[in-house]
Chain A
Amino acid sequence: MNDIIVAILRSGTPLIYVTMAGVVAQRAGIWNLGLEGLMIIGACAAIVGIVLTGSFALAMLIAIILCVLASVLLWFVIEKLKANPIIAGLGLTGLGLGGTSLAVQAIFGSQAAVTAPFGVPKLGPAFGPFGVLSIFVLAMPFAVFAMWVLLRRTRFGLRLAASGEHPFAARSVGANPSRMRLAALIIGGVLCAIGGAELAAGSLQIYAQNMTAGRGFMAFAAVIFGAAHPIGSAFAALFFSVVGALGIRAQLLFGDAVPHDLLLALPYIATVFGVWLSGKLRGGRKAATGFAELRDY
């Protein structure tokens, strides 16, 4: 049983951090589809940083700086150049995926996976069977709680939510919605760096090309599933991870009776189901995501 919980926490923690990043952005009114790109940047920077500097703290600093810079670029393009957030987000994702493989090629001369000598510090034997987990796993519930307080129980959170829901209202009390969105994306950048680092350096200490494999998009789906509520979205992300972990467990049990690739599909199917369900629960109403270049309101 413990190993299942360890597996779920391992796969769930990176997803939950990135989901929190999506939640802040969503509340501020930005559909952040760049999460996938930010996450891979975080993963790559953490591992490469450890290899190059030999220090975990420095590696995290590099990952956070790069993710925040990329987030600021996204903010600039969406807010200042009025680009469509979905397309710009997909562009940022592409930039992250391409940029990381270019960087690895440039630094190591090949695109092979990079292994680091150590990863995120572990909890240690004091935690018994959970000692193999990283400190980010332990910090995760606190991060979710902190996000909940920040977004739901502070004036900053109210103004952030107003910036997303009714920017004019935010403006008329003197808040600047554009700056609130910048703050949201910067917070999201930090969270994505942690999520990416946990993915690559939390247990395996290895970075491989495209290793996020759509997790950023899944995090985004968890945001929608959880109605951008920090705790609800965190549980949605956890649900996707449980489905994934159970799939792998099923494979160990049944061997080749169930095709491997179809089990890998379970989290994606769960995501579709989750988004469908949340749409259903909200009475079929849909946020206006249409192609804004063409839409006139």
Chain B
Amino acid sequence: MTGKFVSVLRGLIFIVIALALCGVIFQFAGYSALGMFHSVAEGAFFRPGAWQQSLRWALPLFITAAGVGISFRAGYFNIGAQGQFYLGAICAAFMAEWLNGAPAFVVIPACFAAGMTGGALWALWPGLLRLQSGTDEVITTLMGNFLAGLLLVYVTAGPLKDPSGSGQQASSRPLAAAYRISDSLGLSPTIIVIAALVALAMWLLVNRTAFGVLASLAGRNPTMVQWQGATVWRLGLSSFLISGALAGLAGTIEFMGPNGRLAGGFLPTHGFTAILIALVANLSVVGTAFVSVFFGGLASAALYLPIMAGLPSAAIEIINAAIALFITAKSGFVDRLLAFGRRSA
């Protein structure tokens, strides 16, 4: 499809513009822009073992982003992925604590169920408020992120506190090795299989069910589907729940896999990055998978920069933010540029 090709090209052009803005900021702050980008690329993809690290970050990001994509598709601006992600991790941690000692084949599925439920519930209340009384979900989900962050700090310093822990940051008791689904490198067959299943399920949901078509129609024009007889409640709540459950699943994976414990304020930009991924991928499930790898690379570079290259990791934050600033841009000179040489049909 040429339409798709044009939109991908447009996205790429705006990413280049965003990176140029970053370069200006880096240069302005006294760093060499080229050196910075070089280190970022190296940290993301070109050092030994980089791909493995990038994939480790890409998989949970993909799962959250796929969920964000569903609610954006349905027209709900659920930007609470971060909070739903935290709630997933917190609920899974409580479940693990409660079942501690039971066999792994009981604990692991129970933790996953708890994590997905926790994420879904954290998306449920903004959804209900939105559908019941028109409360704007942008603000409620945003506030939900702050609340979940405080809750996380509270449980890691309170009910789940690791008494042996020292250092400034309180953290929860570590998960028993038998219940871990990966080592601290974070790439295991279990996680890969889960991500693949999510990808398949979401692709089918979006492209091969009535829900997929109707949710997209409702997202683009809620009035029209109402005149066709849709119950906006069902479409809306299910998209909130799906996106919350997937963010919760990602939180569970981070807790049971690479992290193995909860720490106050861990991965604070996960949700925002997932939103970006969904937007850059134009909400397509397949696109989300590919874009996740790119942002997974940036996430792994964020760890690489301060340690190996002596550069501040805020550089990655800036790159992400600049992409956010430009990614939804759609007209103006870029479209004229893309139309160059073609006759307007």
What residues make up the interface of A, taking CB atoms closer than 8 Å to B? 31, 33, 73-74, 77, 80-84, 86-88, 90-95, 97-99, 101-103, 105-106, 111, 213-214, 217, 220-221, 224, 259, 261-262, 264-265, 268-269, 271-272, 275-276, 279-280, 282-287, 289-297
Contact = CB atoms under 8 A, between A and B. Distances in A.
Given A74-B325, A272-B139, 9 more contacts: A102-B314, A213-B146, A214-B142, A221-B143, A275-B139, A276-B135, A286-B136, A295-B221, A296-B221
A269 B147 contact: yes
Contact of A87 (B129, B221, B324, B332): B324
B294 interface: no
19 contacts: A77-B326, A81-B326, A81-B332, A83-B326, A83-B330, A88-B325, A91-B321, A94-B324, A95-B322, A98-B314, A98-B317, A102-B312, A261-B154, A272-B143, A276-B140, A289-B77, A290-B77, A290-B219, A294-B220
Nearest to B264: A261
Given A90-B324, A261-B153, A295-B75, A268 B147 contact: yes
Contacts of A31: 138
B150 A261 contact: yes
Q: Is the interface of B mostly helix, strand, loop or mixed?
A: helix
B233 interface: no
A94 B321 CA distance: 5
Given A99-B318, A105-B312, A261-B151, A290 B222 contact: yes
Contacts of A292: 328
Interface of B: 14, 25-26, 29-31, 72-73, 75-77, 79, 129-130, 132-136, 138-140, 142-144, 146-147, 150-151, 153-154, 157-158, 216, 219-222, 272, 275, 279, 282-283, 312, 314-315, 317-318, 320-332, 334
Contacts of B220: 294-296
Given A275-B135, A279-B133, A290-B77, A81 B330 contact: yes
Contacts of A82: 329-332
Contacts of B143: 214, 217, 221, 268-269, 271-272
A91 B154 contact: no
Given A95-B318, A272-B143, A259 B158 contact: yes
B29 A262 contact: no
Contact of B312 (A88, A111, A262): A111
Contacts of A291: 72, 75, 77, 219
Contact of B325 (A83, A97, A286): A83
Nearest to A78: B329
B326 A287 contact: no
B142 A92 contact: no
A33 B143 CA distance: 13
Nearest to A284: B134
Q: Which 8 interchain pairs have the tightest Cβ spacing?
A: A94-B321, A91-B324, A91-B325, A98-B317, A81-B329, A84-B328, A284-B134, A261-B154
A98 B326 CA distance: 16
Contacts of B31: 106
B338 to A, nearest CB: 14
A293 B76 contact: no
Nearest to B315: A102
Given A82-B331, A102-B315, A279-B136, A95 B29 contact: no
Contacts, number: 195
B147 A90 contact: no
Given A90-B272, A217-B143, A284 B133 contact: yes
Nearest to B319: A98
A217 B149 CA distance: 15
A284 B232 CA distance: 14
Nearest to B317: A98
B29 A102 contact: yes
A296 B31 CA distance: 43
A86 B134 contact: no
Nearest to B26: A102
Contact of A272 (B140, B282, B283): B140
Given A81-B331, A105-B314, A291-B72, A275 B324 contact: no
Contacts of A93: 321
Contacts of A94: 272, 317-318, 320-321, 324
Contacts of A282: 134
Contacts of B157: 261
A87 B219 CA distance: 16
Contacts of A275: 135-136, 139-140
B320 A83 contact: no
Contacts of B314: 98-99, 101-102, 105, 111
A103 B324 CA distance: 20
A264 B147 CA distance: 9
Contacts of A88: 324-326, 328-329
Nearest to B219: A294
Contacts of B146: 213-214, 217, 265, 268
Nearest to A101: B314
A226 B318 CA distance: 32
Contacts of B139: 217, 220-221, 224, 271-272, 275
A281 B47 CA distance: 57
Contacts of A105: 29, 312, 314
A82 B318 CA distance: 21
A291 B75 CA distance: 6
Given A275-B139, A290-B77, A92 B150 contact: no
